Amino acid sequence: MQAFEYVAAESLGEAISLLDKHGNQARILSGGTDLIVQVRENRRQVDLLVDIKKIPEFNEIFYNGSLQIGASVPCYQVYGNEDVQRLFPALVDSTSIIGGVQIQSRASIGGNLCNASPAADSIPALIALGASCVIQGPNGDRKVAVEEFCTGPGQTALSSNELLVKLVLPKPANNSSSFYLRFIPRNEMDIAVVGVGASVELSSDHKTFVSARIALGAVAATPLFAEEASNILAGQPVSEESIQTACSAAQDVARPISDMRGSAEQRKHLVGVLTKRALNGAISRIKETA
């Protein structure tokens, strides 16, 4: 493993000034379950790891009209949080299948986002839930929608002296719910061949779609917000037909590649299957809680 220095930053300010000083050669260390392996396997060059787990605000998760998730909050605290379970089920779906439970003890949702894997499980769920990132740099903070955050495989909107502080998820509307699922060859411990997150808002009689957000993973260089597929549903009756139209629209925006985990045609096909299952999953959750 390549040699590097390690600093456990004690404040946000210290973390930022370290990033500002070392630029691209510094990386933020949170759960480390991706980063440590990447550095070990020489897939990423670093001189300095800045550990932010000891900074309190990075570990906070709470709901006060919107859900605030500190960048270092590990998966198990996300799916273990009662407000998350009540209001953001897609987040439970996705964070409980990232690696095994040992990974979930450390892997953070912020790290999953900053690692910017096209197949990351939490990102389609976050996009479906309309989450935004709070980013801090030497010149203050800014907000970026999650669907804008990833710019390519392993690439993000962060500049070298910025870091992700927290994620903010707006309060879901009434008669709404969300769902995330992925397809993998095994039942656990795999990278998504395709992942689909969906949030749905229905009319009070559950007969009509008021709105929906559909997001796709592992079918492009970054997780995708399937905007058209989402908009199609607004005002449509809750029926197989309208769901099928949305599925086809989702398939249209998918631009998958073929690799050892799946072929392009297989992924295109699965986008249709999983979008349908994600929408139906969200719908039945609305009906259950009603």
Closer to other proteins by CB, 124 or 256: give it: 256
Closer to other proteins by CB, 175 or 269: give it: 269
SS3 129: coil
At a CB cut-off of 8 Å and minimum separation 6, what does 234 contact? 209, 210, 211, 212
Task: Candidates 33-41, 120-128, 142-150, 152-160: pick the segment binding other proteins (CB under 8 A).
Answer: 33-41
User: How many residues sit close enough to other proteins to count as binding (CB under 8 A)?
Assistant: 44
C-beta neighbour count of 236 within 10 angstroms:
16
Per rule CB under 8 A, is residue 251 in the interface with other proteins? Answer: no
Closer to other proteins by CB, 35 or 229: give it: 35
The residues that bridge with 242 in the sheet, in sequence order, are none
Nearest one of 35, 51, 28, 50 to 2, comparing CA atoms: 35
Q: Which residue type, as a one-letter code, is found at position 145?
A: A
Task: Candidates 99-107, 125-133, 170-178, 197-205: pick the segment binding other proteins (CB under 8 A).
Answer: 99-107
Q: How far is the CB of 271 from other proteins (least distance, A)?
A: 12
Establish how many alpha carbons lie within 13 A of residue 29's alpha carbon, considering only the half-sphere containing its beta carbon: 22
Burial category of 143 from C-beta neighbours within 10 Å (exposed 0-12, middle 13-18, buried 19 and up):
exposed
Binders in 171-190 for other proteins, by CB under 8 A: 183, 185-190
Cα–Cα distance list, 30 to 49, 50, 68, 99, 142 (Å): 9, 8, 17, 16, 21
Per-residue mark of binding to other proteins, 199-228 (x: CB under 8 A): ------------------------------
Binders in 34-93 for other proteins, by CB under 8 A: 36-37, 39-41, 49, 51, 53, 76
Per rule CB under 8 A, is residue 6 in the interface with other proteins? Answer: yes
| CA dist., res. 74 & res. 2, Å (int) | 26
At a CB cut-off of 8 Å and minimum separation 6, what does 189 contact? 99, 100
Q: How far is the CB of 33 from other proteins (least distance, A)?
A: 5
Per-residue mark of binding to other proteins, 256-275 (x: CB under 8 A): ----xxxx-xx--xx--x--
Per rule CB under 8 A, is residue 153 in the interface with other proteins? Answer: no
Decide if 77 contacts 57 (C-beta within 8 A). no
Decide if 230 contacts 245 (C-beta within 8 A). no
Closer to other proteins by CB, 141 or 252: give it: 252
Per rule CB under 8 A, is residue 280 in the interface with other proteins? Answer: no
Per rule CB under 8 A, is residue 191 in the interface with other proteins? Answer: yes
Residues near other proteins (CB under 8 A): 1-6, 8, 29, 32-33, 36-37, 39-41, 49, 51, 53, 76, 99-103, 105-106, 183, 185-191, 193, 260-263, 265-266, 269-270, 273
